[in-house]
Structure 1
């Protein structure tokens, strides 16, 4: 059976110039987009009430409303909808104002067609709508926000094996979402009506882990003042998730293997075994092959747990999912804290997409929580993201400002080098004294401030 082609992205073009509309519609349609048009701000808002495009292209000069005012209204109604503003009357203050208010880009006509298509593609990639799972058949994967091919393949495999009772070993870096995947597999299984119990084998002291897993009888050891039902019994009929199984002590690995073979647990201090019906999912960030080679993990237990392996990619290996996850987390955290934060500024979202993420999805959530708590604007700015990522802020100057700064620094160095002697400084700069004095005046630099006391006295004597 042939695969259905993906639906082309829907763009809304707002402009009252019929020639521009015709030209852009031809160009955008040829690039594979579906284009709707509106000739006024009100017509655009009416269309947005009926359908939701993936992106808006709007002229700044419209017959019934200023384009920036229209943008503000679109932002208020649809905070995550990317908007690119177009104008034949562009100026720097308007562009700065538009981007500060959250416009994805501000292009001045006539613009390069390739540049426009690149901006559209970038906006669609960064602001793709979150695939929040609402369909009943996909409810099992709630919380697994993704649109990457890598994750799509993994989830298809996970759903397939979820329908069996096979033990599954989930491999992945710390923070990559192994427990989230385990919970999804449980929801997709025939055991979804029964408990899902998770335990971190590396977080519980060895002397307590056996009691936690298998239970104990009253009086079995000091402090055992009552019978305790272990996690295996608590998960009866359902799923037990053993996180960081690679950190389980060897002595306990032997007992776990016996439980899996006999399908029964013997609580500490009990002479009788209790039958259990539990599916085992386990996870680790360790290299278990190396651990087995070093005698730190039992080979027979490994094969009992590893009937099926699922490898969860690191966040840096599925970067196209970062904007979706970031916006999903931001909406969750903003609702939790009652904050009016609607999204990320385009450069902030791009910074998140390009960050290394050694802590994976867990680190991304922490960063989003921090910026949400500190943001004072509807859109999270780049500076807050850089702060949360501990990335030094880079000051970006206009070319004119950069030249001014360089020129002043250069003059200061020359005056220091020549101890404030204008004739020597002008000669080194290969400029005549009159021109050099003008440069000093422009930058408010007084040569006498760079002279030593002796030199200043000589200069004063010359003037008398």
Structure 2
């Protein structure tokens, strides 16, 4: 039995489809607008959503990614009486399971449901994120659990993996988790920091060399690619790999054979590659800074790690875990926490992400050797200042709203108008913050907001904003 949401502004269609689904033993709910659909999906765990395209408010095609991000992560079956090739392509790109034109035969609607449920059950059985060796990956938020599910899937394959995310989000931890949960876990995990590869010695470091291959090569050296034989080769900051080396590495990745510098013999290395970057690789490809063929080869499997500010619910368990770990490492007593300590941490935006949080905890512990309880006062001043600013701004907004309350009942706007005003104000505030934090980078803004490019530009135009304004 599945939990299914039917979204259509035609109540007759909702009633007919719900009756058929209940007859098959499923639980159902229905919605007539895009906002109702998002509200219901956000409050319940749906397995499948039948979604109309033409809806009051926003298009069904537009809200597919948001529906897919709700707690149940439901499969979406699009139903439309206005089918088009472009619409079908957009639906699939946005994550829809199927695209069905109305009026559709009963068996077509039910067959799509059966296949979606079978796929869903099979995918769940294959993930088992709870059984993963997580190492130092802490958190149970929806976003981090999605990433762990992808780790489980990646670990079960030999495909190349591209891990993206801001600096400090834990890309190497996730790469190690893929390795430790794969069949190669008893073999080497070799780390290559592409940003630290010296220009003159990069080939030697990767491929190795024979004695006398170049000035200073006094003895033969096995390269990092060879050392990763049977194991995993992790290329950190892959976007920094020199362009002249990218062609050579592509060949190695394809054939798993190469010549060390100064050698006529070919060496083999059976390695699995995982790469990470905080740069926008698609932009680099378009600018000619990264080879397109290598990029496509590396992104067979992609995992995007969320910034810490996008999973604030993970801050408290991370603080407790890392504080206990650090206390044990330094041989000092464990600490207690005042509520205001966590409150201040939650109000900070953590531009350095998890790495900055851990460094902050080390800083605090080094300065509170004999204090059993940690208070907000113990935190670095920039974190406390940010918390104070956010708190005052929030209070000021409440005061302004209170001051602007209508004096007479007849001055109160209709609920529809009031909601419209608040939604528009919230959208404007969000977009300004989004542009500020991403420095007007549209690709990053799309990734953070999970909006399509068309929808993002539509909202910017609606509120009189532009990406260029954030850079001025």
TM-score, normalised on structure 2?
A: 0.54
Does residue 229 of the first structure (1) align with residue 200 of the second (2)? no
**Counterparts of 1:380 and 1:166, CA distance in 2:** 45
**Counterparts of 1:285 and 1:139, CA distance in 2:** 25
Does residue 384 of the first structure (1) align with residue 408 of the second (2)? no
Does residue 374 of the first structure (1) align with residue 367 of the second (2)? yes
**Counterparts of 2:130 and 2:338, CA distance in 1:** 34
Q: Which moved more, 1:173-182 or 1:330-339?
A: 330-339
* 1:341 and 1:380 in contact (8 A); partners too: no
* 1:339 and 1:372 in contact (8 A); partners too: no
The residue number in structure 2 matching 1:19 is: none
Residue 143 (structure 1) shift: 1.1
The residue number in structure 1 matching 2:172 is: 179
TM-score, normalised on structure 1?
A: 0.55
Call closer, same or farther: CA 1:388–1:329 in 2, change over 3 Å. farther
**Counterparts of 1:218 and 1:140, CA distance in 2:** 41
User: Structure 2 matches for 1:269-348, cutoff 5 A?
Assistant: 269-348=262-341
**Counterparts of 1:345 and 1:208, CA distance in 2:** 51
* 1:315 and 1:361 in contact (8 A); partners too: yes
Compare CA radii of gyration and give the structure with the larger one.
1
The residue number in structure 2 matching 1:357 is: 350
Call closer, same or farther: CA 1:387–1:322 in 2, change over 3 Å. same
Structural RMSD (CA):
2.1
User: Structure 2 matches for 1:69-148, cutoff 5 A?
Assistant: 138-148=131-141
Residue 392 (structure 1) shift: 7.3
Greater RCO (CA < 8 Å, at least 6 residues apart): 1
* 1:367 and 1:389 in contact (8 A); partners too: no
The residue number in structure 1 matching 2:417 is: none
The residue number in structure 2 matching 1:162 is: 155
Structure 2: 5+ residue stretches without partners:
4-127, 390-472
The residue number in structure 2 matching 1:265 is: 258
Structure 1: 5+ residue stretches without partners:
4-134, 396-464
The residue number in structure 2 matching 1:247 is: 240
**Counterparts of 1:335 and 1:227, CA distance in 2:** 42
* 1:250 and 1:297 in contact (8 A); partners too: yes
**Counterparts of 1:346 and 1:277, CA distance in 2:** 51
Residue 344 (structure 1) shift: 2.3
* 1:386 and 1:393 in contact (8 A); partners too: no
* 2:207 and 2:223 in contact (8 A); partners too: yes
**Counterparts of 1:182 and 1:161, CA distance in 2:** 10
* 1:167 and 1:304 in contact (8 A); partners too: yes
